[in-house]
Structure 1
Amino acid sequence: MSNQELQSKIAELQEFIDERPDAREVRKTLAVKLVYQSYKYEEIQTILDVSVGSITTWKQAYEKDGILGLCLKHKGRKSHLNTQQREEVLAWLQTKECWELGELECKLAFEYDVLYESKRSYYDLFDAAGISSKKTSSANSKANEEAVAAKEKRFHHCWRAAEKI
């Protein structure tokens, strides 16, 4: 490999490092860059705390697939509901103001054959539909002056005792 080709590869790797926020991709790329800068594998292993086998694998991936060989391959977990089904569920949730978690669980299980392992997924659907999943009381007693006055009258003796202390 000529010096010009080597410098070109190093520049490409550095540009990739500068653009990537993911530390795992940066570590892979930096390891390959250090190989091209004539660092020994053992030195790279110490500097980046990676195995020699990983360095070799990453270098081979770069040589085979170019910069794409250093990108993470995972795509994440596939959603249980597809986009259309999710939109249908969100529209259905808009039909009522107050929901129980069990209603949503049944709807997803029977109509879409979807059972989430975590309750968080159901609450995320409520949030996406603009429905609060927090427990609330039906009325704020502080806003009801009669209820506040009745409570003050009922506990007046407690507050008087507290004032004397």
Structure 2
Amino acid sequence: MNNLQMPQKDMEKERAALESFIKSDRTVRELKRAIAVRMAIEGKLYHEISKILGVSKFFIGYWKKQFKTKGVAGIKLGHKGSKGYLTSLHKTEVIEWLKNKEYWDFDELVT
């Protein structure tokens, strides 16, 4: 089903979800995905979007498909990073130790 066949109500819901996502605190990669998808569902040609955002036509089609099948969750970054080794207490202690040092020895920092 293309944009011309989609009911207006559904298109408005998709646009609203994208706008909310774009206005929230997003990473640059997620923002570029969302803007490309928004432009595509608004009917802009892929080669125009490609020029404006500096992305490939494949990029636009891929993220549009992800959005259509999974919604906003489909264009979010998939990784969450690894868990840190230090607790917040340890981080605070390290920062205080660094602030109180006049000279930092590399071996001492490693330890």
Q: TM-score range by the shorter chain?
A: 0.7 to 0.9
Q: CA deviation at 1:126?
A: 2.4
Q: How does 1:16-31 map to 2 (within 5 A)?
A: 16-31=21-36
- 1:33 lines up with 2:1 in the alignment: no
Partner AA of 1:42 in structure 2: H
Could you say which structure has the larger radius of gyration?
Answer: 1
Q: How many pairs are equivalent?
A: 97
Higher relative contact order (CA 8 A, sep 6+): 2
Distance 1:68 1:51 in 2: 21
> Structure 2 vs 1, CA of residues 18 and 76 (structure 1 numbering), >3 Å: closer, same or farther?
same
Shift, 1:82, TM fit = 6.0
Query: Within 2, Cα distance between the matches of 1:71 and 1:21?
Result: 9
User: What is the deviation of 1:72?
Assistant: 1.3
Shift in CA distance, 133/63, structure 1 to aligned 2, threshold 3 Å: farther
1:88-103 alignment, distance < 5 Å:
90=90
- The DSSP-based 3-state class of the residue aligned with 1:77 is coil
TM-score normalised by the chain length of structure 1: 0.51
Seen in structure 2, the aligned counterparts of structure 1 residues 66 and 135 have a Cα distance that, compared at 3 Å, is same
SS at match of 2:52: helix
Displacement of 1:41 in angstroms is: 0.7
Q: Which residue of 2 aligns with 1:134?
A: 102
Following TM superposition, by how much is the alpha carbon of 1:124 offset from its aligned partner in structure 2, in angstroms?
8.0
1:35–1:41 contact (8 Å) kept in structure 2: yes
| Structure 2 unaligned regions, length at least 5 | 1-5, 105-111
Change (3 A) 1:65 1:125: farther
**Match of residue 16, structure 2, among 8, 11, 17:** 11
Alignment of 1:57 with 2:25, yes or no, is no
| One-letter identity of the residue aligned with 1:61 | Q
Structure 1 residue ranges without an equivalent (≥5): 91-122, 137-165
What RMSD over aligned residues (CA atoms) do the two structures have, in Å? Answer: 2.5
Superposition deviation, residue 46 in structure 1: 0.6
